[in-house]
A = this chain, B = another copy of it.
Amino acid sequence: MPTVFDVTTWTHSTNPSITCYTDIGALINDIIARIKQDQPNQASKPGAVIYIPPGDYPLKTRVTVDISYLTIKGSGHGFTSSSIRYNTADTSDWHEVWPGGSRIKVENTDGRSEAFLVSRTGDPRLSSVVFKEFCLDGVGFSPHQNSYRNGKFGIKVDTANDAFRIEGMGFVYLEHAVMVRDADALNISGNFMAECGSCIELVGSGQASKVTDNLIGAGYVGFSVFAEQHEGLLLAGNNIFPRGRSSVHFKNVNRSSITANRLHAFYPGMIDFEGVNKENLISGNHFRRDVEPWAPMQSYGNGKDDLYGLIHLRGDNNLVSTNLFAFNVAAGSVSPSGATPVIIRVESGDANHISNNRAVSNVAATRVLLSSTSTATKVLDSATASEFRADTQNHTFRATP
């Protein structure tokens, strides 16, 4: 009983005209049906591998994954910049114009928006589904190629799950690269996720998950990394580049870590906390904020101004320590005009702790700003007296000498 399937050699069970070159989605669904047929016994369902060799494969039909232990694997994340190409007048003499590797062109004609939907009801939760080393390419945005909109999802996991892995993948030109609901011990590592509306969206809830060692950069409309109601999420060792509306967005996330990452953005609100977020650690990160240098994108932004803070904290007992901020916005580009930009803004919450940070700025900047509703923040060695602003008396401040 085979458990390794190659999309290029699989014959569709009912309609041989469906191949990986006509509709890899329908073909993979057929393989999954066969795997289920081959593994009817509750006591032995080890799953399988579906292999996608390098090639260009259109996906017309959504794949639905509803078995545990399925690995879908290619040989090449295949990223290239579609954004540069779409913004180049003449590419007629280019060597190649599209992404490559094991490349699925997400072209749903089935009325669905997902290339891969992972979903199953009943018990147990789906476990150990793996996506590895292939390319999901949304091909184009609409109404224009710089909109980051097309409604397409690369991978959407819609029911609770355990021990999933998304590794070594490439994602490009999808409105949503990866959205995972209710994750437990999820691992997203070693991926190349760029030029997507949003890259990683961890929705619903989640725990004990890991986003590590990725290269990530969303569009101005979306999130590079979004997490909601997660506990114990570890974001470490990522290089997150522009131009997401934020680099990391937490919504009611508790006891999670953002450590040892490099973050680069063209807008304020690089780490953006929404709702109430408690006891999170932000340490050992490098933040670079400068101004959009590329003409095709200069008309876009995230709608936030420079008083918002590179870090915008809402919540209690968070620790922000040992980060380096490098702020570089020409005085004339600061918004609102004439404002003093803010590096760390404690917008709300109790007992946040800001210590041992260093911020470099080309203009006068408020290193730490405490809003009037924040309480009991401690700010130690993170700003000189003149770099600090508190709109409340309820705080502790030790100036950087």
Which residues of chain B come closer than 8 Å to A68, judged between CB atoms?
A: 80, 95-96, 100
Asked, given contacts A80-B128, A236-B260, A356-B322, whether A44 binds B162 with beta carbons under 8 Å apart, the answer is no
Which residues of chain B come closer than 8 Å to A215, judged between CB atoms?
A: 163, 185, 187, 208, 210
Which residues of chain B come closer than 8 Å to A48, judged between CB atoms?
A: 54
CA distance in complex: A321, B285 (Å)? 12
> Is A61 engaged at the interface, CB distance under 8 Å to the other chain?
no
Cβ-defined partner of A43 (8 Å) among B97, B167, B322, B396: B97
- Contact A163–B100 (Cβ < 8 Å): no
Asked, given contacts A68-B96, A84-B124, A257-B286, whether A281 binds B46 with beta carbons under 8 Å apart, the answer is no
Against B, the Cβ 8 Å flags (1 = close, 0 = not) of A211-250 are: 0110100000000000000001110111101000000000
Binding site of A, secondary structure by majority: helix, strand, loop or mixed? loop
Which residues of chain B come closer than 8 Å to A81, judged between CB atoms?
A: 124, 127, 162
CA distance in complex: A17, B234 (Å)? 48
- Contact A102–B279 (Cβ < 8 Å): no
Cβ-defined partner of A102 (8 Å) among B46, B54, B76, B321: B46
Which residues of chain B come closer than 8 Å to A260, judged between CB atoms?
A: 234, 236-237, 257, 259-260, 284
Distance in Å: Cβ of A263 to nearest Cβ of chain B: 9
CB under 8 Å from chain B, chain A span 37-56? 42-49, 53-56
Size range of the interface on A? Answer: 35 or more
> Is A176 engaged at the interface, CB distance under 8 Å to the other chain?
no
CA distance in complex: A257, B241 (Å)? 14
- Contact B76–A49 (Cβ < 8 Å): yes
> Is A75 engaged at the interface, CB distance under 8 Å to the other chain?
yes
Known: A259-B260, A281-B285. 12 other contacts (CB 8 A): A2-B53, A42-B96, A47-B54, A71-B76, A77-B130, A80-B163, A81-B162, A95-B122, A163-B215, A185-B215, A212-B237, A281-B323
